[in-house]
Structure 1
Amino acid sequence: MNVLNDKKIRIIGPLVLFLGGTLFFRLDWYLELSTGIVVRSDLIGLTAGYICWNIARWVAIQLQKKYPGLANTRRRLLWMVLLMPLLVNFAWLIRQLAHIAFNNASYITQTLPNYTYSIGIQIFYHCIYFIIYEGSYILGAWRQAYNYNEQLKKNKLRHQLDTLKSQINPHFLFNSLNSLSMLIYENPRQAETFVDEISSVYRYLLRANDQELTTLGLELQFIKSYFQLLKTRYGAGIELHIAVDEWQLERRIPPLTLQLLVENAVKHNIILPKRPLIIEIITKESLLVVQNNLQRKKSAVPSNKVGLANIAAKYRLLEQRDITIHEANGLFVVTLPLLANQSEAKATL
């Protein structure tokens, strides 16, 4: 329920509560009091009900504005409990003053049992007021949070699908199959090894999108298989050097990170046996550095910059430090944070 569009319930609600209260709390009035007193008492009770309903509504809305969202529910409820004595006593007082003004009561005279009985009724009414407005607010906030989480899941699935599509590059597969075709004729044994590498690469590609993180060790195993496919195609025109501390192998990174960086280097640089593209993967403390020598192609290569942006987006989603990209001393350098392994992550909780 939108509190800004609750005109109908503001009209009907107090009337329904008044009728219910009459049935359960004031039925004896109709048997013991005169018709004039009953009519005036009913008008006083109904008018006071409308006034108290709108005051409670205003309090609930102000608390929701000051302490919005599901996270502040406990704080809003605490304030409602603290304000309850003030509100119910105010409700009791305006009724007593109305009886003095319009129902021939000379002054307020109530015994303690009658006072506590009246206060109990007002507490019941005010609980209903707050349940209606706070309950509908909580339900709306929960629904909004649920829809937001569902949208995040859909976006994540869409992102995974887009990533998968970008990884299973049809040109790469076409080139790999061409290389395999030549090997089958020239070197059957190497062709068999090449098939195993293709199988390993695509198996990893298909599984990787089910995980947010993978270990550096598994990612390096994959990139070695991936590099063998590139090596078969480019021969002496490409080199890969890995210098990673063994104790870092259990650290984690988003899957397919290394493949994106290697693919990026291959895409934008000249690859010749006399001018080999040299790709290095090294660790420095808690950082992974992937760099290659710069020998850009003279003709511009069409690029939507999905690779590097994809990596940066993954780190942002994981709420980690940003990656850094720079050129220095003829090198294109990408520096990535290595994330804690599972045992280290549990130790920090």
Structure 2
Amino acid sequence: MLFSTRLRYIYMLGLGAYTFVNVLLMEALPFYGLPVNSGYVLVLFLVCVTLIWEGNRLIERGLPAVRRRLGLRLHPLLLSFLLSLPVTLVAVAGPALLLGRYVQPLPPAKFQLGLKLLLAVGFRINLFLNTINTAVYLLRELRQSQLEAEQFKKISLQAQFQSLKDQVNPHFLFNNLNVLSALLYQDVGQAAEFLQQLSKVYRYVLQNQEKEVVEVAAELEFMESYVYLLRARFRGSLRITISVADALRTRYTVPVALQMLLENALKHNISSRSRPLLIDVFTTPNQEQLVVRNTLQPKPAVEASTNLGLENIRRRYSFVSPHPVEVERDAHTFTVRLPLLRVGEEKSGAAIETH
């Protein structure tokens, strides 16, 4: 922020000198009949500017503690400006009293006039500094939001790449083509249905790979097609249930999140006919979270993690929701809770908020 910049003493000196030069050029002292030495006036302005600046810096540093203690909900910039007003009063009146009473004594009427004029200048300096500080704050917030937007775009591209890679890699194609080949000999109608569901999976990814969020209804429709492929492949060794109320299907989630969680469960757990892997997709009782829960049946050894799974989902959600993705693991289950989103005000560059 402005008040803590390393060049602040140079700025203080420049602002004090600039104010003094303006007073001289306007011939304010002769105009108001103030018999004060110009050298004293220069020192007075430098001292006042320094005290106002340092006072604002101390306010800025102590503001978080003040907000916590008082429980105020005011914007930090507004609260900082309000607190700066009494600080400015003391920063100006103190040196003025010292000069007008002891260093160069003035008649009471002249002292009061000079004090009023100095206070007017001091409060304008304070307003100017807080205005510049507000501009610096807003520019920093803008840069931060732009940076987060770039990070979000990068994470989204990573997720899109991972999702496409998972679905076009040789294992995915080989497994599904094997299933399709078997079905062609067993049941042509079922093979046609399998091929249709496979095309829906690719179509969804291609249509939504550029989006930051998607409707839950669209994600669940995609999941139905994806689950169909998994059931055909794993048959009795995998049991997946999806239970989400129709009223919640108009909410939003990040694209392909559910598919990534299913992939995560299949990657790390054993599934067999004698010990099927159970995966449930449902909502919490308060209907504010979408839950994916699977039984915990760890494989003896798994592939090296790409670090794009849960961490990717967490980071993408951090850009569109103030509520975190919750992960819970116990002796029997592994649970991930995704916040359900609503269209609303912007948060970090994304037009989504949670309630």
Do these two structures clear the TM 0.5 threshold for a shared fold by scoring above it? yes
1:269 and 1:297 in contact (8 A); partners too: yes
Q: How does 1:253-332 map to 2 (within 5 A)?
A: 253-270=253-270, 277-282=277-282, 285=285, 286=287, 290-292=292-294, 296-304=298-306, 306-313=308-315, 318=321, 319-320=323-324, 322-328=326-332, 332=333
The farther-off stretch of 217-226 and 77-86 is 77-86
- Give 3-state SS (helix, strand or coil) of 1:265's partner: helix
Deviation, structure 1 residue 14: 2.9
CA deviations 1:284-330 (Å, max 9, x no partner) are 634655445565545543334643444455566631472323342xx
1:238 and 1:272 in contact (8 A); partners too: yes
1:312 and 1:323 in contact (8 A); partners too: no
Deviation, structure 1 residue 154: 1.9
Q: CA RMSD in A?
A: 4.2
2:85 and 2:123 in contact (8 A); partners too: no
Deviation, structure 1 residue 239: 4.2
- Cα gap change, 1:326 to 1:251, in 2 (>3 Å): farther
Partner of 1:167: 163
1:204 and 1:222 in contact (8 A); partners too: yes
Q: How does 1:1-349 map to 2 (within 5 A)?
A: 3-26=5-28, 28=30, 41-67=37-63, 71-97=75-101, 100=104, 108-110=107-109, 115-116=112-113, 118-170=114-166, 172-175=168-171, 177-178=173-174, 179-180=176-177, 183=180, 186=184, 192-206=192-206, 207=208, 210-212=211-213, 214-215=215-216, 217-235=217-235, 237-244=237-244, 249-250=249-250, 253-270=253-270, 277-282=277-282, 285=285, 286=287, 290-292=292-294, 296-304=298-306, 306-313=308-315, 318=321, 319-320=323-324, 322-328=326-332, 332-334=333-335, 336=337, 339=340
- Give 3-state SS (helix, strand or coil) of 1:323's partner: strand
- Cα gap change, 1:72 to 1:41, in 2 (>3 Å): same
CA deviations 1:195-229 (Å, max 9, x no partner) are 432332133234166234632x4333211111233
1:180 and 1:191 in contact (8 A); partners too: no
Q: TM-score, normalised by structure 2?
A: 0.71
- Cα gap change, 1:52 to 1:300, in 2 (>3 Å): closer
The farther-off stretch of 56-65 and 170-179 is 170-179
Measure, in 1, the Cα distance between the counterparts of 2:284 and 2:49.
66
Measure, in 1, the Cα distance between the counterparts of 2:121 and 2:80.
18
- Cα gap change, 1:222 to 1:79, in 2 (>3 Å): same
- Give 3-state SS (helix, strand or coil) of 1:301's partner: coil
Deviation, structure 1 residue 168: 1.6
Measure, in 2, the Cα distance between the counterparts of 1:100 and 1:276.
93
Measure, in 1, the Cα distance between the counterparts of 2:340 and 2:53.
49
Q: What amino acid does structure 1 have at the position aligned with 2:143?
A: N
Deviation, structure 1 residue 240: 3.3
- Cα gap change, 1:235 to 1:60, in 2 (>3 Å): closer
- Cα gap change, 1:254 to 1:94, in 2 (>3 Å): same
Deviation, structure 1 residue 21: 0.9
Q: What amino acid does structure 1 have at the position aligned with 2:118?
A: Q
Q: Gapped runs of 5+ residues in structure 1?
A: 102-106
Q: TM-score, normalised by structure 1?
A: 0.72
Deviation, structure 1 residue 120: 4.3
1:240 and 1:280 in contact (8 A); partners too: yes
2:92 and 2:118 in contact (8 A); partners too: yes
- Give 3-state SS (helix, strand or coil) of 1:210's partner: coil
Q: What amino acid does structure 2 have at the position aligned with 1:151?
A: L
- Cα gap change, 1:292 to 1:89, in 2 (>3 Å): closer
Measure, in 1, the Cα distance between the counterparts of 2:136 and 2:261.
44
Measure, in 2, the Cα distance between the counterparts of 1:5 and 1:340.
44
2:238 and 2:272 in contact (8 A); partners too: yes
- Give 3-state SS (helix, strand or coil) of 1:141's partner: helix
Q: What amino acid does structure 2 have at the position aligned with 1:145?
A: E
Q: What amino acid does structure 2 have at the position aligned with 1:13?
A: L
- Give 3-state SS (helix, strand or coil) of 2:211's partner: coil
